[in-house]
Amino acid sequence: MPQDTFTLRLIAKELNETLRGGKVNRVNQPEKEELALIIYTGKRTLKLTVNANASDCGVYFTADGRENPPVAPNFCMLLRKHLTGAEITDVSLDGFERIVVFRMKCFSDFSETERELRAEIMGKYSNVILTENGTILGALKTTMLDENCKRAVFPGVKYVLPAPQDKVNPADKAALSNLLSSREVTAEFLFRNVAGLAPCTAEQIVSSYRGGDFAAHVYGYIFSDEISPCVAERDGVMTDFFARAAEGAVPFPTLSEAQSYFYNKRRTRKRTESERRRLAAAVNTVKKKAEKRLAQIRDKQRECASCEENRIKGELLTANLYALARGMKSCELTNFYDERGGTLKISLDETLTPSQNAQSYFKRYRKQKRTLEVLAPQEREIAAELDYAESLLAAISSASNAEDLRPLEEELLSAGMLKAPKERAKASEVPYRVYEKDGFTIRAGRNNLQNDRLVRASSPDDIWLHTQKYHSCHTVIETRGKDVTDEVLLFAAGVCARYSDAKGGGKVPVDYCRVKYVKKPPKSKAGFVIYTDYRTVLAEPIEE
């Protein structure tokens, strides 16, 4: 995102027009590197976010209702002490630096003073600093002399600007003209040699050049108040916001609104992905344990695979006791179980009698048979658990937002895959995904618990759909006694395919039948059913 000086100058101008004369009602710190100032402008109350996080640094308005920590951090308490009730007199940049300065008139019972809240928007070096008469009162991130000998940031020291970059200040027309007049300039050269420009801003400056004095064009572009805010998207994901129009971008009335939209959507996406990873990690832990246990069971089954051979050896030894004697290490007997009449070589314990050797093989056979009988239900149970975990991973992967993930979290809690917090507010039940097509209502479950509820709540003659050989949501078409058209059936199949783990694009096979032919076996995992009297249709997954 272009949080360069060019963009920040326009942001500061907008903030000054909106916030000048406003009063700070409250200061919060919802995140470690993020502040929220609640400001009453005289007409409305706005929430201004000042973010010093390396990936999300910026100053923008938000409307989210995030909870604040129960105990405010020290810097937040300091700002509450000094800025609560303060009047914003001016918002501007400090020279041509990436520093937005909020100048405030602060009042107390006995005095009135001016303080400055400085938002340094500099990527990983971003910071928020409160100063009075050039002295630092406090900072979101402090540094000591032994950590950074060039610039100390802690209470009581004089505030100094960050060390300047070895670049030309575009406000210096003579230096700018001298830099750009002697060669053909590229966006890369402009970014490397002119202060305050992000790569995308440099590209826009070069692409908008139509001839003439290039230095004058650069100066005019940077210091012009022309603005046409927009947010660029690619494949449904926002990639950036701009102060000037960009190809294929969504326009916004103000830069503040473009920023707010961009950051709120980005924050929502990040939290959704973080929640998705958290739930997937919990399920993968269960899945790995099940896979390990299943591998152990199958190793044991392979060890016991010779049980029938041991029985045959025991019976052959029993049938040929007259021909055997103690002390023999092995024997080769005619195998009357072999249709071709072959022989079978049998190892013997020379310290045992022939009868004892036969009983030894029978004993091994009985032990292996008992082991296989015990392992069979364990294998089915673990395989069902593994299949259930894979169905959860498919649902987590296909969830498109936090609303889809919330019921999955409830399912994981009920299944014991997640630990419930000590104090947890009861969440309202998330509804099914609902679609309308040609007068028919189509419902799809968001998780396995909802899938079960959906089947139970549907009428026997409703149409039930599920992808063939893939994990997917359960989808039901409410028929209400009407015949379902092919278009409605294909649309519902597309919904089912959309929320499945079928990968690679293309058409997905989807089975469908009446709900009355869908049965849930006793004691089976959530979302598991068996069905009969079905047909199959190939469907393209619907778009998001």
Q: What is the CATH number of the domain that holds 52?
A: 2.30.310.10
- 508 with 481, same domain: the answer is yes
* Three-state secondary structure call for residue 332: strand
- Kindly provide the b/e burial profile for residues 259-276, where b requires at least 16 CB atoms within 10 angstroms of the residue's own CB: bbbbbbebbeeeebeebb
pLDDT of residue 422: 55
Report the distance separating Cα 391 and Cα 284, nearest Å. 11
- 451 with 319, same domain: the answer is no
Residue 337 carries which DSSP code? T
Report the distance separating Cα 476 and Cα 507, nearest Å. 20
The amino acid at residue 242 is F
CB-side neighbour CA atoms (13 Å) of 147:
7
Phi and psi dihedrals of 263, rounded to 5?
Answer: -70, -40
The amino acid at residue 256 is S
- 130 with 218, same domain: the answer is no
pLDDT of residue 431: 82
- Structural domain count, the chain: 4
CB-side neighbour CA atoms (13 Å) of 148:
13
Per-residue model confidence as pLDDT tens for the chain (544 residues): 568 899 999 999 999 999 999 999 999 999 899 999 999 998 899 999 999 988 888 898 887 777 788 889 999 999 999 999 999 999 999 988 999 999 999 988 778 899 999 999 998 889 999 999 999 999 999 887 665 567 888 899 999 998 888 898 898 889 888 888 766 778 898 889 899 898 888 998 888 888 888 888 999 999 998 899 999 887 767 788 888 888 878 899 988 888 888 888 888 888 888 899 999 999 999 999 999 999 999 999 999 988 999 999 999 999 999 989 999 999 999 998 888 878 999 999 999 999 999 999 999 999 999 999 999 999 998 998 999 898 888 888 888 788 888 888 888 888 888 887 655 545 556 788 899 999 999 999 888 888 998 999 999 999 999 999 888 899 999 998 889 999 999 999 999 998 888 876 688 999 999 999 999 988 888 888 999 999 999 998 887 6
Q: Is the dihedral of CA 233, 234, 237, 238 positive or negative?
A: negative
- 440 with 417, same domain: the answer is no
Report yes or no: 396 and 280 within 8 Å, Cβ to Cβ. Answer: yes
What number of residues does the chain have? 544
Residue at 152 is within a domain = no
CB-side neighbour CA atoms (13 Å) of 439:
7
- 423 with 316, same domain: the answer is yes
Residue at 111 is within a domain = yes
Q: What is the DSSP string of 250-273?
A: EE-SSHHHHHHHHHHHHHHHHHHH
- 380 with 510, same domain: the answer is no
Place of tokens 């003209």: 177
Residue at 112 is within a domain = yes
Report the distance separating Cα 158 and Cα 174, nearest Å. 32
- 250 with 323, same domain: the answer is no
Q: Which residues contact 11 (CB under 8 A, 6 or more apart)?
A: 59, 60, 100, 243, 255, 256, 259
Residue at 250 is within a domain = yes
Phi and psi dihedrals of 106, rounded to 5?
Answer: -105, 140
Alpha carbon 541 to chain centroid distance?
22
- 423 with 443, same domain: the answer is no
Q: Which residues contact 325 (CB under 8 A, 6 or more apart)?
A: 354
Residue at 366 is within a domain = yes
Report the distance separating Cα 37 and Cα 79, nearest Å. 10
pLDDT of residue 493: 93
**Global pTM value:** 0.66
Write out the residue range of the structural domain in which residue 190 sits. 173-257
pLDDT of residue 2: 67
- 290 with 415, same domain: the answer is yes
Report the distance separating Cα 452 and Cα 468, nearest Å. 18
- 416 with 438, same domain: the answer is no
Q: Which of 396, 430, 464 marks a domain boundary?
A: 430
Q: Which of 399, 430, 461 marks a domain boundary?
A: 430
- Listed residue (68, 132, 77, 70) closest to 101, CA to CA: 132
466 beta partners: 511
Phi and psi dihedrals of 12, rounded to 5?
Answer: -60, -40
| Rounded (10°) angle between helices 354-398 and 307-319 | 170
Residue at 87 is within a domain = yes
Residue 541 carries which DSSP code? P
Report yes or no: 86 and 107 within 8 Å, Cβ to Cβ. Answer: yes
Residue at 163 is within a domain = no
What CA–CA distances, in Å, run from 147 to 113, 135, 143, 441?
32, 20, 6, 64
The amino acid at residue 478 is E
Give the containing element (helix H, strand E) for 132: strand 127-132
- 291 with 401, same domain: the answer is yes
Residue at 454 is within a domain = yes
- 426 with 436, same domain: the answer is no
